[in-house]
Amino acid sequence: MKIQINTDKNVEGSERQETYFSGELEKALSRFDDKITRIEVYFADENGDKSGINDKKCVIEARPTKMQPLVVTDYADSTEKAFHGALDKMKKILSTSFEKQKEH
């Protein structure tokens, strides 16, 4: 499973953050490792330099083998909270999608 982390111009990305988010993804999605080819994470700050409530956005896109890509989005007041919210959503959607696939 390949993991790619992307940020917009308003979100400062560091190697330490990339290592942390990649590690969290690998740990949380390890049971799907053989079913996913790629994970892309996009961080954005909706308001740019202005402050706001829940203006940090995290989009996680998973590309399962032999399936359409799955995408989830979460908003929070920090990139970490948005990431964990999106990660929880991704775990749920992957579990549901693979369960449905088993039934067919």
Averaged pLDDT, groups of 10, the chain, 104 residues long: 89 85 95 93 83 85 93 94 97 90 68
Could you tell me if 18 and 5 are in contact, meaning their C-beta atoms sit under 8 angstroms apart? yes
The pLDDT assigned to 99 comes to 84
The pLDDT assigned to 101 comes to 75
- Architecture of the domain made up of 2-103: 2-Layer Sandwich (3.30)
The pLDDT assigned to 104 comes to 58
Closest CA to 88 of 75, 99, 72, 100: 72
- Residues 36 and 50: their CA atoms lie apart, in Å, by 37
The pLDDT assigned to 84 comes to 97
Instruction: Tell me the pTM.
Output: 0.89
Domains of the chain, by residue range, sit at 2-103
The pLDDT assigned to 103 comes to 67
